[in-house]
Every structure is written in C-alpha cells, then in structure tokens.
A and B are shown apart, each in its own frame.
Chain A
Amino acid sequence: MNEVMVSAEGVRKHFGRLEVLRGIDLEVRAGEVLCMIGPSGAGKSTFLRCINHLEKIDEGRLTVDGELVGYREHSGRLYELRDREVGQRRAQIGMVFQHFNLFPHMTALENVTVGPLKVKHEDKGAATERGREMLRRVGLADKVVAYPRQLSGGQQQRVAIARALCMQPKLMLFDEPTSALDPELVSDVLDVMRSLADDGMTMVVVTHEMGFAREVGDSLVFMDEGVIVESGPPKSVLTSPRHERTQAFLSRIL
C-alpha cells in the first residue's frame, strides 16, 4: 500500500452560520485518483480549497504528505504558518480552477513559467524549457506565445493544467475543470487528465463527468450537505449506490 498523501479527520468549516463541511474523514494515497461528486453546495469545492489552505478549516485535522495544512505542530500546540511558509507548501500542490484563472496579461509560456521563476527562483532557461515541454504535453506546442484571450476554453484549461504541472507538484487538485467548457472541448481536457493519472499523479478531482470518474478514478466520494454520504470504488458506487441520496442524485444526472 502506498503512503498517505491527503488525510482528513473530522474536518469542519463554516462561513458565518452556514456549515459547509460537517466532519469530513477521508484518505488519498499516493498515486491514487479520487473523484468527488455531489450536488452543488455539497462542500466539494470548499474541501478541495481547504487542502491547499485557500480556505482555513475550523475544526479537525488535515494533512498533506504528513504535514499539517496551514499549521506547524509543536509540543502539543498548533502554530499558524506565515504567508511565505504557506506558499512553500502550496507550491507543491497544483490546482486547476473551474474558470481557468489564467493570467490574462501573460502569454501561455509566461503563464506556465511565472511560478517556477518567481516562487522557486529557477534558472530562466530551464524554466522556459520545461514550460515548452509541458505545453507540448497538453497539446499546445503551437500556442506558446498566445495570450489566454486568443485561446478557446479547452485550450485555456490545458494551459492552466500545464501551469500547475510546471511546479512539479506531488498532488493535483481539480475543481470542476470541465464545467465551464463547451461540450465538444471537454474531452481534450479529460484526455490530458487521464494521461496524468496514467503517469501516477495523485489527483483529487471534483467533477460532474461520471464517465471520467468511472474509468479513471480509483475511488469515488459522494458528498451532500457537508458530509460524505457514500464512498468506494467508482463502479460500485455508480452502478449500485447503497444510500438513497446517492441513488436520487445519480438518477437525476445519468
């Protein structure tokens, strides 16, 4: 069995009086692809954002690769990390957003190299070379000098994946990466994600693509109202869900 990459124990999060996560227990092992499904407002995206500390958790314990997210434990106390230290941990986790969030004032190549250059202070030549290689890998070798506005949604999302990969992360988080795309562009992005999974990347994917979850996912989690309702191998959860909320959700979307 591989080592544990992400571990959550009783993770809770609320925005004001609204409880978004009500005790999440979950484990992702290195090399595993975990897909999270569920109705909107279930807390999937919030949980994903907690993993790289874009949201602070209120209760529970969340670790990535054995290190607490956002805190340092020392003699029975939790010390909040500085902005720089949080950054150093985030640099090891790639994140892909629903709305791409590419930097519009930079070309595709500048988008993918800004992290290695400014955060990891890498040599410009090496960073550029790897940037080109990553863009080639996502099938955009000819779009190196294009600005995001000049690219289609699917191309933009593939640049966003290349941007995350250029940081050589040990974990990739995908927040509904295909939800903002035209249907015919979805498959390009899913193909890139599939090849990443084949290479053994650890991935947590919030998605509505049941086909992708079934084929690529090693495990599947169904969330509703801030709790994990059901989890297990994708095929069994999708074909024979045990919980009635899962059954109701799946019958509505399949």
Chain B
Amino acid sequence: MNEQKPPIVIPALIGGVFLGVTSALPLIEFINCACCALVIGGGVLASVLYLRDYPDYLPPISYTDAAVLGLLTGVIGGFIWTMVDLPLEFFKMQIGMGMMDISELSEALDDPRIPPALQTFLADFIAHGGMTPGVIIFSFIMNLMFSVIFATIGAIIGIAIFQKRPAASVPPTAPGPQPPVMG
C-alpha cells in the first residue's frame, strides 16, 4: 500500500494564485475588508484541495500539516499578490485612485516637521509614481506577512471543518524509513 502523502505544492499553488490574484484585483480586493476573507479563503481552498487528494487509509491530516500547507499557500500568494498589485497600484496612482494620494504626499513635502531624509524619500516616491525599490520591498513584506498569517489560519480552519475525521494533534509518524514529507 502506498503510504505517501499527496504533495502539498499543487493545492498550495492553486490557493496561492487564488488569494494573490483576488487580493490585488480592483473592487474584488475589497472582500478582504471582511476580516481578510480572500486570504483566509485561499488557505481554506488549499486545504479543501489537499483533502480531496488525501487517501482515507492514511491517518487524518494534523493541524501542523495544515499550517505548513497554509504557510506555503501564503508565501506563494504573497508573491503573486505583489506581482499583480504593483502594476495595478501604479496605474491607479496615476489616475488618482490609489491607496495613497500623491497630492497629500506632495503637501507633506512642505511640512517642516518631516525629517529631510524622509522628504528625500517622498520626493523620490512621487517622482517615480510610487514605484521605488523601497516601496516594492515594503509592499512585498506587508503582503507576504498578511498572506502567510491569514492563509495559515485559513488552512487550519479548512482542515478543522472539512476533514471528516478529527485532525491528529501532531503529525502522524510511521515506524521505519519515512517517506519524503509532503511535496
């Protein structure tokens, strides 16, 4: 009997693409305003897809396995979110619909309370239409942090709700040589 667990990469990839693309798309992104629903949904989707391929004869999926699945989903989702979001955000800022208002930032340039280093950064930010390396890295870190946290929670919730058997509290370990762990 093949006791190898199904790979987590495919469900994580599908969940990650789902959360990354939907979280970046205009209008649809606002669903995240409901407690990060799209990101949690990406984690749940990954767990449901993983459960679909998970054979019944294996021990139930543990919450730790679910967390690893959600973590991978979040990492993939964070990358995709940033890749899709940056060009869209650049375009939205050009037409004055971005999250940060360029005119507000321009006013901040004249504020004497802002340190010169920050003023230089802001001037660079405005000159490049919001696409400086610093902003790209910052956006990526924020997206990655949010998607990793919430996709992990989503995958754990998905396993808790959709797995028919109660999840094992710790990952099951079989005696003898271990098959490669997931993916």
Q: Does A pair with B? A: no
Which B residues have a C-beta under 8 Å from some C-beta of A?
none
A residues with CB within 8 A of B: none
